[in-house]
Amino acid sequence: MLSETEARATAPDEWPPSAAWEGWRPFVIDSRHDESAIITSFILRPQDGSAVPPHRPGQHLTLQVAVPGQPSVTRNYTISAIPNGETLRISVKREPSGRVSNWLHDHAKLGTVLHVMAPSGAFVLPDDATRPLVLLSGGVGVTPMVSMLEAISRSSAAAPVLFVHCTHDGQTHAFGAHVRALAAGRADITISTFYSHPQVQDAVGDGFDHTGRLDMAWLLAHSPVAEADYFICGPLPFMRTFMGGLAKAGVPTGRIHTEFFGDVEDLTDEDLAPSDQANVAGQGPQRTAASYGGAGATIGRPDVANGLLDSASDAVVASDRNGRIVFWNPGAERIFGFSTEEAVGQSLDIIIPEPFRARHWDGYHQTVASGESRYGAGDLLAVPGLCKDGRKISIEFTIVLLKGTSGRVEGMASSIRDVSRRFDEMKALRKQIAEMQQFQG
């Protein structure tokens, strides 16, 4: 679905792109312009003037921003335009309490330097997009959809595309004219825009199509539910409504693709994961394990290591600095369902639910670049995991950094345990306690 130049972006199992840079790279703000009353686009150009490797439409950037008088902070922002080899565009919504978004809107100017990680993320169009596509966005969730639509508009693919965007009114509507221009003359692209609270100057048919909120009834009536791939990005209530509604309508999880701009614990069903702690942990001071060397002892360090690595009880997974899986033991195959042949060489995305991937890669890239993590030895982290058959499970795990002789992080290894049964038992117990308290009250 991309032109010859744009198709140079790498395949999913190569994310992050091998042709991209490692660590933080300085970019300068080349230009900026308002997309709406609350969203501003920033065009970023490499400070050294060199070329920008291609990304896949829908991917995001991790930025490090030095706000004066405060420690540097990192944020993820979607790349809102297709690759051009020279610049990257991000489009930022001003959030009332957003430290970085407000600083960018109020203080970032031409020449301001931002440090940027290479594009990453799996919220991208399928390589073989033969099924109909539904691009469904709310608010600033339109940003990945714009880059996807730009790519689609330059292709000759005949699969129908429904682009649905929801916003408050004409003042908050970003990219409206641009989106309609992309669809102009394309019978295979349909645009539908909803204003929940149109102003006096907003007229149906002039920039938007429907008054009120989009609901599942409209979506089911106007999209090919039985065959379409749905891409969804927007605020929390929006995501919950349409993720859940499509699932209840029988759309397989493999055809529901999501990106969430917010805290993942708000998006995740509370019945799914015990917590939302980060996906990357560090390691504490290294120590040599003690061993028993008495008479007749035949068990050495390699025996212990091989026994643990070959066990089918817990998963042991190792990945390189780009997040590609390099080791996958029998326990990982049992828990996640992928064979060694299927898993090795793939991105860690195959075991991470989509709403968690942006946060995962943010932490992963930061740790690889800095060689440090905010987590120490013994930290037990808990997040949802994704199985081959699409099931989501609750997992607990620890991670250690794998460093070379120079001290550079070369990868990470993790020990993972499926705790879904225990979590279900705890959930049932909490429910019983709540019912007892309600009865006693």
pLDDT in tens, 341-398: 889 888 999 999 988 888 888 888 888 888 876 655 556 778 889 999 999 998 988 8
pLDDT beyond 50 at 286: no
Rounded to whole angstroms, how far apart are CA atoms 292 and 297?
A: 7
Query: What average pLDDT does range 117-140 have in this prediction?
Result: 89
Confidence of residue 11 (pLDDT cuts 50, 70, 90): very low
| pLDDT of amino acid 136 | 98
| Distant-in-sequence, close-in-space partners of 165: CB < 8 Å, separation ≥ 6 | 137, 138, 142, 145, 173, 179, 191, 192, 193, 194
Domain extents in the chain: 6-116, 133-262, 303-424
What separation in angstroms does the CA of 243 have from each of 195, 226, 329, 337, 377? Answer: 21, 15, 33, 24, 37
Pairing of strands 39-46, 25-34: antiparallel
- CB of 412 closer than 8 Å to CB of 319: yes
| pLDDT of amino acid 337 | 95
Least confident window among 100-114, 138-152, 233-247, 249-263: 249-263
* SS3 label, residue 73: strand
The helix (H) or strand (E) run that includes residue 44 is strand 39-46
What pLDDT digit, counting tens, does each position of 134-147 carry?
999 999 999 999 99
* SS3 label, residue 309: helix
| pLDDT of amino acid 254 | 85
How would CATH label the architecture of 303-424?
Answer: 2-Layer Sandwich (3.30)
Structure-block tokens of residue 339: 């064979």
CATH number corresponding to 6-116: 2.40.30.10
pLDDT beyond 60 at 17: no
Residue type, 108: A
Using only the alpha carbons of the chain, give its radius of gyration: 24
Which of these, 52, 74, 76, 61, lies nearest to 120 by C-alpha position?
61
**Whole-structure pTM value:** 0.63
pLDDT beyond 90 at 333: yes
In which residue are the tokens 């890239």 written? 365
Report residue 239: phi and psi, to 5°: -65, -45
**Domain 133-262 grouped into CATH 3.50.50.60:** no
